[in-house]
């Protein structure tokens, strides 16, 4: 009884509710007005007299939908934070699933192609991304050390590399390597060309990440290691990098997730990764949306898994530092 009173008080006496209701109703009303086919005649375009054109019906539907939306938000606001997150996720997932109804997806067709998309597309995407992130990390370490060096020659090469590959679109780099090098007599297959482009591009971005992480370690650590007779490689491996890694991990994880999605650009040179299959499997039967939405869902699931792994790694290093 008390909870009902509190909710009623929050709904009636709070100005945010009235404002939110009016804004939501206006937005939905505008959406319904520009919708060509949604909820049949009630939401059909306004033609002629409002009373006979469905204008009033659209307004009532918009107002009721807005009312339910705002009440839903207010009620969820009483939940604990974890339940709020779970409730909003479930509602948004249900909303996303309605797209399948709107597009009238052929589930049998998706099922017939899903296994091939996973075994061929996902495997190739992960393969290209994993090799590229390893090479990019090596380039980033070398570039970061060179940019922190007192040697002007090394700094010049590293800064030129980062400036060039951060300044060119990744798609152009893919084309230059795959289509340009053969004019010089070096024919590169599609997958190595894609890996090379991703590695060089992301290595340039990650150079700055590694440089910032290494610079976060105080100069006293370097001086102390030199005083103890440690060589550069041993100092970097045993002293500097272990302290810099907790700062490097989060942005590097973000770069890998971005690389996973940007690997879709290698589809333009015929690599059978996830984007290529999403674009081509439905061509013969004109079922493009089925494959594109399936590919999008797979990319999303891969991203969620990588985010979970990244969170576990970050928690591990936080625990070590505490």
Unique residue bearing structure tokens 């013969």 = 284
The b/e string for 99-109 (b: 16+ C-beta within 10 A; e otherwise) is eeeeeebeeeb
CATH topology of domain 107-321: MetI-like fold (1.10.3720)
Please tell me whether residue 37 adopts helix, strand or coil conformation: coil
Give the pLDDT of residue 62.
62
The tokens describing 15, both together, are: 């100005």
- What are the mean pLDDT values of the chain's consecutive 10-residue runs (322 residues total)? 47 51 54 47 45 56 67 76 84 76 82 92 94 95 89 93 95 94 90 95 95 84 78 79 85 92 91 91 87 92 92 81 65
Q: Give the whole-angstrom CA distance, residue 265 versus residue 281.
A: 17
Please report, for the chain, the start and end positions of each structural domain, with discontinuous segments joined by +: 2-91, 107-321
Task: Give every CB contact of residue 209 below 8 A, 6+ residues apart in sequence.
Answer: 140, 248, 251, 252, 255
pLDDT in tens, 180-205: 999 988 889 999 999 999 999 999 99
Distance CA 250, CA 246 (A): 8
Torsion on CA atoms 67, 68, 72, 73, rounded to nearest 10: -40
């Amino acid at each position: 009884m008390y909870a009902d009173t509190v909710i009623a008080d929050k709904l009636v006496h709070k100005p945010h509710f009235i404002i939110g209701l009016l804004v939501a109703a206006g937005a939905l009303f505008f959406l319904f007005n520009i919708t060509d086919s949604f909820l049949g005649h009630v939401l059909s375009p306004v033609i002629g007299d409002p009373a006979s054109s469905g204008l009033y019906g659209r307004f009532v539907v918009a107002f009721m939908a807005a009312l339910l939306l705002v009440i839903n938000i207010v009620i969820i606001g009483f939940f604990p934070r974890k339940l709020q997150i779970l409730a909003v996720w479930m509602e948004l997932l249900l909303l996303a699933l309605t797209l399948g109804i709107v597009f009238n997806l052929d589930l049998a067709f998706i099922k017939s192609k899903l296994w091939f998309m996973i075994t061929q597309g996902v495997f190739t995407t992960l393969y290209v991304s994993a090799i590229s992130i390893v090479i990019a990390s090596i380039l980033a370490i070398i570039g970061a050390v060179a940019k922190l060096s007192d040697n002007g020659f090394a700094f010049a090469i590293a800064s030129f590399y980062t400036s060039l590959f951060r300044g060119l679109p990744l798609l152009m780099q893919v084309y230059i390597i795959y289509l340009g090098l053969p004019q010089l007599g070096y024919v590169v297959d599609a997958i190595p060309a894609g890996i090379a482009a991703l590695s060089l591009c992301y290595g340039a971005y990650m150079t700055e990440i590694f440089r910032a992480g290494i610079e976060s370690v105080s100069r006293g650590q370097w001086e102390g290691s030199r005083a103890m007779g440690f060589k550069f490689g041993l100092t970097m491996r045993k002293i500097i990098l272990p302290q810099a890694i907790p700062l490097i991990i989060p942005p590097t994880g973000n770069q890998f997730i971005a690389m996973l999605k940007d690997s879709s650009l290698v589809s333009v040179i015929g690599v059978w990764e996830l984007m290529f299959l999403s674009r081509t499997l439905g061509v013969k039967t004109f079922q493009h949306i089925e494959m594109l939405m399936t590919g999008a869902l797979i990319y999303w699931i891969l991203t969620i898994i990588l985010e979970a792994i990244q969170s576990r790694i970050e928690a591990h290093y936080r625990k070590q530092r505490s």
